[in-house]
């Protein structure tokens, strides 16, 4: 459980990224430090070589002065005289190579042919000038290289060779070598420190990161505890909103929005069940009562016929409720196979007016359909007829006798707008927002208690399935107006 937690994963990724970053940083530091140490050692060797050349030249000049005092010929001390030069260099190596003014190092001097002329006592016998280095010297180029003597206790050397140029030619080659044990020791010390402190740093920061992740995710833990307490009976419970303005706050807000929607959905479901139970209970009670009365004694054929006809009316009522509910359920699940095709709206509404005329004529209600130009659109004709039939049925039903219902049709891009108005009792403002809810029949207006309360809900669902909408305005005592908006291009 712990290994699969977000906290563990965040900490693990944090330690991994930190470890890789520190590893790259350590390698970079090690390489840079190593380069600096070798650079410093190379500078030291170069400085030593320059000091040796100056010392040899000084020694040479001293020999010249001594020769002049003794009355020797000048040529005896000239560098052009190779034998004299070799003699003086060897003499310098014996007398001055260990001079305190010259930094300690293994010193070797070679001629142009790579033969060793002289060497300090500290220079190993196995150290000679490599052929590549000799060629570089003859081309008047300096060279650095590493030399590892044989033997377990032998220390590796860093070697610097530089040619001495006189009269435009290489006169001799000075080679200086120094042990690199101090460089190795410094690098080993750095390596050991990095190997100790890098894992330790990752471990300490990992622990700190784990604690930080725990503090960060504490609100999520509280949310989980709250959510586990939520059931169908206490949907009013809400997740505590943290004071931060981060993603966790957004998550808490989202959960609370979801809970509000669930609460509304559960409430609607309960109300739906209560409403349908009430709607079905009435006709079923009537059916049961009529059957019980009919069975109390033997009746005439006419009485049985009346009972059956009354029962049939209640069965039709139940059947109509069930059919309407099935339509709404299919709309909710989006399972209705619409057959969209070109429809001439004016002709369709005229047909609905003709169908409703039986009901309107019985109440002496005049339906005024304002003539308009043909208005074609794409729709499912059978379902669209039901929209206007339900609205007109309501209008005629709630309009008093000898009243009037008007229908107006117009194009208002991008919609076709159908306006249906009656001069009935109207709807109180508090009930107007609820008239499209299922089984809602109002409580204070004269519309209350009539019908099933499903007709406008079905009309609204059909309009929305056609990417349209229905709006209602009403003034108490003056009537109600429905505006149906249907897209001209669907």
Instruction: Say if residue 318's pLDDT is above 70.
Output: yes
| Long-range contacts (CB closer than 8 Å, 24 or more residues apart) made by 188-193 | 190/29, 190/30, 190/33, 191/30
Of residues 151, 182, 152, 150, the one with CA closest to residue 44: 182
Look up the CATH number of domain 341-487.
3.30.565.10
Token pair listed for 473: 């305005």
For residue 184, what is the enclosing H or E element? Answer: helix 181-229
Most trustworthy range by pLDDT among 274-283, 312-321, 381-390, 433-442: 381-390
pLDDT score recorded for residue 100: 47
Residues 6+ apart with CB under 8 A from 163: 137, 138, 140, 141, 142, 170, 172, 173
**What is the average pLDDT across 397-414?**
90
CATH topology for the 6-185 domain: Beta-Lactamase (3.30.450)
Across the chain, what does the average pLDDT equal?
Answer: 82
Most trustworthy range by pLDDT among 290-294, 307-311, 372-376, 392-396: 392-396
Residues 6+ apart with CB under 8 A from 42: 144, 158, 160
Instruction: Say if residue 388's pLDDT is above 60.
Output: yes
Q: Which CA distances in Å does 36 have to 31, 48, 103, 188, 204?
A: 9, 18, 20, 15, 31
Q: Is residue 160 a contact partner of residue 3, using CB atoms and an 8 Å limit?
A: no
Phi-psi region of 451 (alpha: psi -120 to 50; beta: other; left: phi over 0): left
246 SS3 class: coil
pLDDT (tens digit per residue) in 171-227: 888 898 988 888 888 999 999 999 999 999 888 988 888 888 777 777 777 888 888
pLDDT score recorded for residue 75: 45
**What is the average pLDDT across 81-100?**
59
Instruction: Say if residue 101's pLDDT is above 50.
Output: no
Of residues 208, 327, 332, the one with CA closest to residue 265: 332
**What is the average pLDDT across 100-112?**
70
- Concatenating the DSSP letter of every residue in 265-324 gives HHHHHHHHHHHHHHHHHHHHHHHHHHHHHHHHS---HHHHHHHHHHHHHHHHHHHHHHHH
CA 315, CA 37: separation in Å to the nearest integer?
103
422 SS3 class: strand
Of residues 227, 229, 217, the one with CA closest to residue 258: 227
**Residue 63 — φ and ψ, nearest 5°?**
-65, -35
Instruction: Say if residue 77's pLDDT is above 70.
Output: no
The length of the chain is 490
431 SS3 class: coil
pLDDT class for 26, splitting at 50, 70, 90? very high
CA 309, CA 315: separation in Å to the nearest integer?
10
Return the axis-axis angle of helices 381-398 and 345-362, rounded to nearest 10°: 30
Q: Is residue 458 a contact partner of residue 351, using CB atoms and an 8 Å limit?
A: no
Q: Using the Cα atoms of residue 458, residue 463, residue 469 and residue 471 in order, give the sign of their dihedral.
A: negative
CA 488, CA 472: separation in Å to the nearest integer?
21
Domain ranges, ordered by start, for the chain: 6-185, 247-332, 341-487
Q: Which CA distances in Å does 245 have to 85, 213, 248, 249?
A: 86, 17, 8, 6
Instruction: Say if residue 471's pLDDT is above 90.
Output: yes
Q: Which CA distances in Å does 412 have to 51, 429, 430, 472, 484?
A: 102, 27, 29, 17, 12
pLDDT score recorded for residue 20: 92
483 SS3 class: strand
Q: Is residue 220 a contact partner of residue 251, using CB atoms and an 8 Å limit?
A: yes
Q: Is residue 200 a contact partner of residue 182, using CB atoms and an 8 Å limit?
A: no
Residue reference for tokens 């909408």: 469
pLDDT score recorded for residue 33: 93
Residues 6+ apart with CB under 8 A from 40: none
pLDDT class for 93, splitting at 50, 70, 90? low
Instruction: Say if residue 379's pLDDT is above 50.
Output: yes
pLDDT score recorded for residue 103: 45
Q: Which CA distances in Å does 301 have to 298, 304, 305, 308, 310?
A: 10, 5, 6, 10, 14
Share of the chain above pLDDT 70, in %: 85
pLDDT class for 71, splitting at 50, 70, 90? low
pLDDT score recorded for residue 214: 79
More confident residue, 121 or 337: 337
pLDDT class for 80, splitting at 50, 70, 90? very low
pLDDT score recorded for residue 159: 92
| Long-range contacts (CB closer than 8 Å, 24 or more residues apart) made by 182-187 | 183/34, 183/37, 183/38, 183/41, 183/158, 184/156, 186/33, 186/37, 187/30, 187/33, 187/34, 187/37
pLDDT (tens digit per residue) in 284-302: 887 888 888 888 888 888 8
pLDDT score recorded for residue 416: 92
CATH class as words, domain 247-332: mainly alpha
């Amino acid at each position: 459980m712990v290994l699969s937690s977000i906290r563990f994963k965040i900490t693990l990724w944090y330690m991994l990224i930190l470890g890789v970053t520190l590893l790259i940083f350590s390698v970079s530091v090690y390489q840079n430090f190593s380069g600096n140490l070798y650079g410093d050692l190379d500078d030291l060797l170069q400085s030593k070589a320059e000091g040796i050349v100056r010392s040899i030249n000084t020694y040479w000049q001293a020999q010249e002065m001594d020769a002049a005092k003794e009355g020797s010929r000048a040529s005896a001390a000239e560098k052009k005289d190779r034998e004299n030069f070799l003699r003086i260099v060897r003499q310098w190596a014996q007398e001055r190579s260990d001079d305190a003014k010259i930094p300690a190092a293994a010193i070797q001097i070679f001629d142009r042919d790579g033969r060793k002329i002289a060497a300090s006592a500290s220079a190993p016998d196995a150290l000679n000038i490599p052929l590549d280095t000799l060629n570089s010297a003859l081309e008047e180029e300096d060279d650095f290289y590493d030399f590892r003597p044989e033997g377990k206790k032998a220390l590796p050397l860093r070697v610097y060779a530089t040619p001495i140029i006189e009269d435009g030619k290489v006169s001799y080659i000075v080679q200086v070598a120094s042990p690199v044990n101090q460089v190795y020791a410094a690098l080993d010390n750095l390596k050991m420190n990095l190997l100790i402190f890098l894992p330790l740093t990752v471990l300490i920061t990992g622990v700190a990161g784990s604690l930080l992740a725990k503090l960060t995710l504490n609100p999520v833990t509280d949310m989980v505890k709250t959510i586990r307490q939520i059931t169908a009976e206490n949907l009013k419970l809400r997740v505590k909103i943290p004071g931060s303005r981060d993603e966790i706050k957004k998550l808490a807000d989202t959960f609370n929005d979801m809970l509000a929607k669930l609460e509304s959905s559960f409430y609607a479901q309960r109300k739906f069940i209560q409403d349908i139970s009430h709607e079905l209970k009435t006709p079923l009670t009537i059916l049961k009562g009529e059957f019980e009365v009919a069975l109390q004694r033997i009746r005439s054929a006419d009485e049985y016929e009346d009972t059956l006809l009354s029962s049939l009316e209640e069965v039709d009522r139940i059947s109509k409720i069930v059919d309407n509910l099935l339509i709404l359920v299919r709309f909710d699940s989006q399972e209705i196979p619409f057959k969209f095709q070109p429809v001439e709206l004016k002709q369709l509404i005229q047909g609905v007016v003709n169908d409703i005329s039986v009901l309107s004529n019985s109440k002496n209600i005049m339906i005024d359909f304002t003539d308009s130009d043909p208005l074609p659109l794409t729709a499912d004709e059978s379902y669209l007829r039901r929209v206007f039939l339900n609205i007109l049925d309501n209008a005629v039903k709630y309009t008093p006798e000898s009243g009037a219902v008007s229908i107006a049709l117009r194009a208002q891009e991008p919609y076709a707008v159908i306006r249906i108005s009656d001069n009935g009792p109207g709807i109180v403002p508090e009930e107007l927002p609820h008239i499209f809810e299922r089984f809602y029949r109002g409580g204070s207006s004269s519309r209350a208690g009539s019908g099933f309360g499903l007709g406008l809900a079905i009309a609204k669902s059909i309009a929305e399935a056609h990417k349209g909408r229905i709006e209602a305005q009403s003034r108490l005592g003056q009537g109600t107006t429905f505006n149906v908006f249907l897209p001209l291009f669907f």
